[in-house]
Chain A
Amino acid sequence: MYQYVLKRLLLMIPTLLGAALLVFLLLRLVPGDVCVLRMTGGAGYVDPKAIALCRSELGLDRSYVVQFLTFIWDFVRFDFGKSMWTGRPITEEVGLRFELSLQIAIMATITAIMLAIPLGTISAVKQNTWIDYVVRGFSIAGIAMPSFWLGILIILGLLITTKSVFGSPWMPPIKYVPIWVDPLYNLSMTIFPALATGYRYSAVATRMTRSALLEVLREDYVRTARAKGLVQKLIIRRHALRNALLPVVTIIGIEFAFLMGGLVVTEQVFNLNGLGKLFVASVSNHDYTMTQALVMLVVTIFVVTNFVVDIIYAWLDPRIRYK
């Protein structure tokens, strides 16, 4: 097991290096640069010398090789440098957003698990009954409906409902306050995006739970359990569900990592100052250092999440031994 863990940890190095090279090259393939954007964004006149000075300050006049090696050397030392757009330390800029993205990801994951596992289980156990059809309809709708669109509907619904009930329209706050500062305010902002994304997330997991459980319920050991007179609840909980959860855990892990940096549109719909919004801003601003740091952060989250999922496999299924 320890050897396996060590091997997996070492495998992370080429993965991260490959991702670093890819993001570095892709960013430089896009025409335009941060200085031109920054100084002519208002469409006013700007002295070309000012643009040249800006490029030199940011090191954009150096060769690509030097720029790449600097990026890798800084990454190895966990020094992400400064944002080319704001000039502020990247750790400071990312730290502010990380907290919110993490909270939304956790809340959405909890929502998804709370919906997916019971619904997927009921749907499998009551296969081809009206309950199964309702659950399948619910989960297909969740897959078909983009979470940002659901978010827009939620906000509009809140505005219209509160206006007609209370006389004045209400919508979730658009400015983040940490949960330990004002829990009620924080939850009134974060609960709706968590529900919107959690629903879509749960839809995938529900379908996965259902199909995995159906497969397991046909296994010999389940039949044996039934034959020896075990009650259905016990068979499902102790024998079937635990085995059926393996693919569900994979889905949950991947989705969780995705939520940390991929909630681009949902964050914009709810004006959440999260990593996804920062990602979009840094790409459109040609902020190379920030985009590189964010990509590396998300890649690291994916790699670590995959690693954790593999470890959970072993806990869920003792037959897996990683030799």
Chain B
Amino acid sequence: MDFLNGLVTLLNFVVIPATAYGAQLAIGALGVTLVYGILRFSNFAHGDTMAFGTMAVILVTWGLQALGVDLGPVPTALLALPFGILITVGLVLVTDRWVYRFYRVKKVPPVLLVIVSMGVMFVYNGLTRLIIGPDDQRFDDGARFLISARDFKTWSGLDEGLALRTSQAITIVTAVAVVAALFWFLNRTRTGKSMRAFSDNEDLALLSGISPERVVAITWVIVAALACVAGTLYGLDKSFKPFTYFQLLLPIFAAAIVGGLGSPLGAIAGGFVIAYSEVILTYAWKKVLVYWLPESLEPEGLVQLLSTDYKFAVSFAILVIVLLFRPTGLFRGKAL
């Protein structure tokens, strides 16, 4: 019984939150890694693209709510998501046309593109703050829990509850769907294959008649959609605040690099590695250990390895370890 109680606590406080967070990071890192693979630069504006996309979703959600539309137990934001994606795609394509294309045609070194993306980051950040302001926004409606802690306790007769929030369940389901669709697209369709060819060897791809502008445009569309989905899921799960999205840049980049920049599979693995490490290292293990250890060994303190404020330090430490021992990442990305 004690073992089960400990296990449920572990599931409730570590596995479920870390899986949801990992899925959000993975979708974010996929966007970064795709830009890196096709356009060959680290996109610093990705966090703010996510923020902008989420903001679009929030505005549409408010509109829908004002019209009296709702999906019952499921958050209205899911209905607003396609519109949000369309708006984000529009913004990103305009940015590419007005900003990035000029440099692409001139074939400037990648580090200059990074600086350009920094300018784009400022502009997106400013836009988001101008439109919705810098404050916290909650846009989660519908049923809060899929399984609530109390229901679980009465059902199982255990002392510890297991709660699954709707937003967490939606995150995981959406993430699986998005990743499956992306991989089907990259591996099975003609356009997806041309994208991979372009990423592997640009010159050869050009010789075989692949239109670079088309590949780039499709990449941006996918990246914008991924950013919008990742941002909305994160916002549903936690809350929306433009500055937090900017800060997500670090774990997202860490995830992409740990997995191997340019490798979609690596981005997903990296996302979960980062999320699990963050949660495991900042969780106070006392609650689990009281069940699992004999009473004589019961810990006095919280058994928290790091305070939660140091979660960035965790992504950073993992990043450094990977850079030191395996600079190409777990899945042999193209970077070195």
Partners in one complex: no
Spell out B's residues near A (CB within 8 Å). none
A interface residues with partner B (beta carbon < 8 Å) = none
